[in-house]
Amino acid sequence: MKKVLLSVLAHPDDESFGMGGTLAKYAAQGVDVHLICATRGEAGEVDPEYLEGFSSIAELREQELSCAVEQLGIKPVHLLSYRDSGMTGSRDNENPRALMNAPLEQVAGEIAEYIRKIKPQVVLTFDPIGGYRHPDHIFIHQAATRAFSLAGDADFKSESPAFQPTRLFYHTIPKYFVRFNVGLLKLLGKDPTKYGRNKDIDLTQMVVEFPIHARINYNKEKDIKAAAARCHASQGGARLTRGFMKVLAWLLGARFADQFMQAVPEPSPLIIKKDLFS
């Protein structure tokens, strides 16, 4: 049987700054790797120089996403039509098209429809805190989790017959990495509650311990992931993969491996998988 993997994420750049190494690894092995992206990243901050030749941030970021997808070697992206909600408290939250304002059941239904067509054995999404508590990440975590069971539910009526994927994993950020960064920022006299390009990431809220059931090494695909991240130049993708940050990430033991918590089926404790399909 053809191996198929589906990753369900919220914004252009989530795939490359997050689990891109894992996606590239499976694509390199001949697995059909699909990506659903719920928004076009409209709320991202973009320096005017990057917008030249584009009519909107959405158009620019969609183009950056196609570039990244091509680098990763995965299938063309499946874009949903919601709007980036921005970080909690931003004005983008109020937009009626914002993902966070959509009915969860509706978004889950759209994702379930894709699952029935794509027929992945493995589905990946954010962890319950959405990595760093972005409202869209948390929403997509919930919608993808709901869609996972909806796809196999005969009572859910759609164009395609029911299909039940067998494995659901949540990507989770190594907590030692977060703790180290909080300490380092404090040492440098910086505020760990206002981290990142848009100063909207509170690192101190990210130290939640989730169990790890799979660790996927992508040492061989690390350059592919870096190339995909560079596609997201408007979001600082070039900076993330060179110089000090690169050395730091390596020293911290983010040694080119992604960590996943297994939601379905019930994981067996004490075993850390090296393959999401095993």
Binding site for Zn ion (CB under 5 A): 10-11, 14
* Largest Cα–Cα separation, the chain: 57
Task: Report, in Å, the least distance between residue 11 CB and Zn ion.
Answer: 4
Query: Which residue, 90 or 158, is less far from Zn ion as judged by CB?
Result: 90
Among all chains, which residue has been given the structure tokens 């920022």? 185
* Cβ atoms of 115 and 163 closer than 8 Å: yes
Crossing angle of helices 57-72 and 20-28, rounded to 10°: 40
Query: Which residue, 65 or 150, is less far from Zn ion as judged by CB?
Result: 65
Task: Report, in Å, the least distance between residue 161 CB and Zn ion.
Answer: 32
Task: Report, in Å, the least distance between residue 181 CB and Zn ion.
Answer: 18
Query: Which residue, 9 or 108, is less far from Zn ion as judged by CB?
Result: 9
Q: Long-range contacts for 85-89 (Cβ within 8 Å, ≥24 apart)?
A: 85/39, 85/43, 85/135, 85/136, 85/139, 86/43, 87/43, 87/134, 87/135, 87/198, 87/200, 87/201, 88/133, 88/135
Query: Which residue, 9 or 276, is less far from Zn ion as judged by CB?
Result: 9
Task: Report, in Å, the least distance between residue 60 CB and Zn ion.
Answer: 16
Task: Report, in Å, the least distance between residue 10 CB and Zn ion.
Answer: 5
Query: Which residue, 200 or 267, is less far from Zn ion as judged by CB?
Result: 200
Task: Report, in Å, the least distance between residue 16 CB and Zn ion.
Answer: 11
Q: Long-range contacts for 195-204 (Cβ within 8 Å, ≥24 apart)?
A: 197/45, 197/235, 197/236, 198/44, 198/45, 198/87, 200/87, 200/90, 201/87, 201/132, 202/132, 202/133, 203/132, 203/178
Query: Which residue, 14 or 258, is less far from Zn ion as judged by CB?
Result: 14
Residue whose C-beta lies closest to Zn ion = 11
